[in-house]
A and B are shown apart, each in its own frame.
Chain A
């Protein structure tokens, strides 16, 4: 299906063009840059709704296709399309695209035009990542998207921003180099950069294993998975609020999306034989990082560690499918796990984004992220406290919020793979509540800590609008996740059918058999 109206291109290039325009406005026209950024992000958001409404849920085929030759010599195409995995993530991206513009409205005072430009360009590039179906194009978006993020941290960040940026850069760059090698190998084998075609490419187990490890290097850093997670807390701490929000809400999802788009369908046999590795790392993330989050003194670090722990559910949900198939208990639980992983990604986007916005609200007032500097905030900021408690409860996986849905699905599915997977993953019920609510106890409740805290002003209308709109999303997904999971059924079933078929060429199997 060739789309007549290039929706995806518009979703990518409108924010990028808007960003460049904002940058060109210059330092003096800060208010123009703000209005322009708001208009562009709103337009993109509205356009992404047409993606939701026009999306055909009944098929796993790629939709809104655009395919044009780009660098013909290398058969690189400008190839875009979306399925049930990418549509929700694109929607999440455009949703937060609007929120970060509003969140930076009065707070950012220096180089406003460049700030707004960075976020708009980043938005377009991230939509590009989620919609690219050409391996090379994907890689370009994947790398390019980081640059505005480096800028955001490097220019509007905290005192240790240089260290954080370098660490972030080294981690992600090292990881993606291995992926690049893998992509080039796939091109040499198939003569094409088309990801859908790669998914049908027969590959021996050795090649698959190397490819799998290459993808793992890139995506595990993004998720991030233990033990390549240590860049995240530093990056979050130094990033301005908007940067943290995008980092947590969208960028981490690119890791999970990468597993779905590349590792699982292109190297299913390697995924099958190495699933224990991912599951082990996921469970370590859930439990180990849960304990680490408990002892954090810096609110942003705590939320960053909590993110790592929650993202463990994403990788767990994706990779338990193999164990479930090996047990022969049917594919129901496997689908539950993969859909749980997807729901967890969306929900974590909302919840972690909201939590960083909450910390931003406090930071803007007291210029501290330290838990010890607060206490009794509920007294002077009752509305803020209401939102914060809601989001921390969602972070602790309270039913009725989106935070519950994904974890619930993954834990239910994990029991079908192995009792102990469910057991260890289930510990998040205790750990997640412990670190979330202990923070709430120390920051929101208790005796009023200081005169500064007593003088805090409650959230204004702009902040209420931002937190309120995320709250609506969190509760809607919590009370009725059906529309969200309904988007991905066809794609999930297609993926599961795909990973059950060996990609090892028949000859290789015969050799292995001898």
Chain B
């Protein structure tokens, strides 16, 4: 099979599957819907893996392929095409693999849902959109994929569309993303302005030239054009990858079914911003100011969002805040020019975070849609596979040596330590403290869910009620369609870091895709101290991150396993601080007051005062009174013989014109 056909099939198979499952519901039936989408995504994964194999073992070089010309306007070619290099293939494999796992898992999770086929159609459509995004060789198609994943995310968050909160969360996600996309589109417009092209290779080749140009958007202030472009592009990444202050949509997106929380809102879509900045590294490298901005945004997100995770009680929300925090780590890595470390963390995170979400989903179905960890506990013996895989996921997340998350997170922290960029000192402390925070909330989650006394069967009739009712029978381990994906995700969560850190970070695997200027190359500095994956893990035992992680473990173990009262004492001891963090720093309330209500107010004023009051009230109706006589005549027509009169008007008009012209 020709390479081009293969590459085309990779995104088109999931698309075809989505169309079949979505539009031919009657013909294919429920089982048909899951078979066709699973088959589509599975083949897509195999083909992606085949391309990766070709690159690794057969030396397949970078492929830049045009599929068709979308449009030529003003001499500018807008193409749809693929840029297949090592970066693309890596992400393609991650996306299709996680997607495949989620597809299988969904059979169990959504088994009794009336929207079963619609769900499979959406997630297959998502896979197509995400692949179009990462495989693109130009900004236009990137934006297409970017918005298409946003669309599917919107549809899936609001999947249970009778639920008001779900529909609201979907709308919120789309609108907050649109704020980011607004910046992103301006960035793309800036790229076209600067280079006259939207093709990656053309734009990147002109990067040094753009770096010399300035633009004055506020009279009297000259800005570097490339800084403006990069900041605008990054605003897009802030929306999609949920960086503060555009993070508010991600926790609410947990309203969607858990499989998509794993696929879209943890493993793949939210990392699109990270991928995009890495892809644009040839541009970002020319703007220290933009990279410092990236760095500070990431550092703030990494620490501040992790802190919120500590106090949440909804199991999915804890993982969601953890995702925000981890995305912050990736962003920090981008900010210090350690793009490959960001991609590396993106990959390991995709596995262990999807694992954690799917594990949480397994618990949620076992407890009949109970998501509040205060009503869980003691599930270890009831759900051994879920329990074991959740521990693996959590250990990977906290960065336990030898596990995948350890390698990627340690690389990020070390890279920040090496960096000289403005803001890197601050960022270093943020990511370091973040390790403690991550560790604490992760073990808290494990203890509250799987250990201690079971709280899900307790009769709360006397006091507080669990939000979604109490379970009347014992919890059971989930069916194999759920547990097998957990196991298959647990394997890479353990080993992928150990196996791939050498090639991805230090072996130059991403050199063709990512461009780093010599003076910024912190990864090269790390390479001097790298003596193999095992040595790195052993060496880490004596470093701050390891001990901070252990401190978090010890604190969480003490509080949640042995002295649950401590947590309550702390909550009561610092009520102001507790509420401040519990309410997510009141950012949602602030936005609601400042943007949402204000927008509606502005609309009302413009409509009622300006449109209806001034224009219609004074100008139009005023004029109407002036020509009242004319209007009176016109009103007469409305009484009956309108039709005949009207056609007479055409003739009359020509008559009047004739007279007019004579004089």
Contact = CB atoms under 8 A, between A and B. Distances in A.
A113 B161 CA distance: 43
A379 B162 contact: yes
Interface in B38-94: 68-76
B443 to A, nearest CB: 39
16 contacts: A140-B650, A155-B643, A165-B634, A230-B616, A291-B606, A292-B606, A294-B600, A295-B600, A332-B76, A408-B143, A412-B189, A429-B181, A430-B178, A438-B171, A445-B167, A486-B72
Interface residues of B, number: 78
Contacts of B458: none
Interface string B619-643: 1100110010011001101100011
B2 interface: no
A489 B71 CA distance: 11
Given A144-B653, A412-B193, A416-B193, 20 more contacts: A71-B658, A139-B657, A140-B650, A147-B649, A154-B637, A154-B642, A174-B623, A292-B607, A294-B600, A295-B600, A330-B196, A332-B74, A333-B74, A378-B161, A413-B74, A441-B167, A445-B162, A480-B70, A481-B70, A482-B69
B484 to A, nearest CB: 32
A494 B158 CA distance: 49
Interface in A143-177: 143-144, 147-148, 150-151, 154-155, 162, 165-167, 169-171, 174
A419 to B, nearest CB: 4
Nearest to A340: B73
Of listed A136, A293, A329, A446, residue having the most chain B CB within 10 A:
A446
Interface string A422-439: 110011011001100110
A339 B603 contact: no
Nearest to B619: A227
Interface of B: 68-76, 140, 143-144, 146-148, 151, 154-155, 158, 161-164, 167-168, 170-171, 174-175, 178-179, 181-182, 185-186, 188-190, 192-193, 196, 215, 217, 599-600, 602-604, 606-607, 610-612, 615-616, 619-620, 623-624, 627, 630-631, 634-635, 637-638, 642-643, 646-647, 649-650, 653-654, 657-658, 660-661
A409 interface: yes
A448 interface: yes
Contacts of A335: 73-75
B64 to A, nearest CB: 20
Given A166-B634, A295-B607, A434-B175, A399 B144 contact: yes
A433 B174 contact: yes
B168 A441 contact: yes
Contact of B599 (A294, A441, A486): A294
A217 interface: no
A61 interface: no
A65 B294 CA distance: 60
Contact of A169 (B164, B606, B634, B657): B634
A170 B616 CA distance: 12
A499 interface: no
A167 B623 CA distance: 10
A398 interface: yes
A276 interface: no
A489 B76 CA distance: 12
A420 interface: yes
Interface string A471-514: 00000000111100110010000000000000000000000000
A400 B70 CA distance: 11
Contacts, number: 206
A423 B186 contact: yes
A393 B151 contact: yes
B603 A291 contact: yes
Nearest to B145: A399
B162 A447 contact: yes
Scoring A143, A162, A291, A420 by chain B CB atoms within 10 A of each residue's CB, the highest score goes to A291
A412 B71 CA distance: 14
B147 A399 contact: yes
Nearest to A422: B189
B602 A412 contact: no
B643 A114 contact: yes
A246 interface: no
Nearest to A431: B599
A372 B502 CA distance: 60
Contacts of A379: 161-162
Interface string A204-245: 000000000000000000000001001100000000000000
A230 B611 contact: yes
Contact of B638 (A154, A438, A447, A485): A154
Given A144-B653, A332-B74, A446-B167, A415 B606 contact: no
A426 to B, nearest CB: 5
A74 interface: yes
Interface residues of A, number: 90
B638 A448 contact: no
Contacts of A409: 73
Interface in A257-311: 288, 291-296
B147 A166 contact: no
A144 B650 contact: yes
Nearest to A136: B657
A405 B650 CA distance: 38
B71 A405 contact: yes
Contacts of A411: 185-186, 189
A334 interface: yes
B143 A399 contact: yes
A167 B73 contact: no
Contacts of A180: 657, 660
A485 B72 contact: yes
A331 interface: yes
Contacts of B600: 294-295
Contacts of A112: none
A336 interface: yes
Given A114-B643, A230-B615, A412-B192, A419 B217 contact: yes
A23 B646 CA distance: 13
A376 interface: yes
Contact of A295 (B164, B603, B661): B603
Interface string A49-81: 000000000000000000000010010000000
Contacts of B76: 332, 336
Contacts of B164: 446-447
A14 interface: no
A414 to B, nearest CB: 7
A166 B606 contact: no
A415 B192 contact: yes
B497 to A, nearest CB: 35
B193 A147 contact: no
Contact of A339 (B74, B179, B607, B627): B74
A357 to B, nearest CB: 20
A329 B215 CA distance: 14
Contacts of B611: 230, 292
A485 B71 contact: yes
A272 B624 CA distance: 34
Interface in A97-118: 114
4 nearest A-B residue pairs (beta carbon): A335-B74, A336-B74, A415-B189, A295-B603
Contacts of B616: 230
Nearest to B602: A291
Contacts of B654: 140
A170 B627 contact: yes
B214 to A, nearest CB: 12
A22 to B, nearest CB: 12
B147 A398 contact: yes
Contact of B71 (A293, A334, A481): A481
A464 interface: no
A74 B623 CA distance: 34
A140 B658 CA distance: 12
With most chain B CB atoms within 10 A of its CB, the pick from A330, A378, A445 is A445
A184 interface: yes
A415 B190 contact: yes
A296 B603 CA distance: 9
Nearest to A167: B620
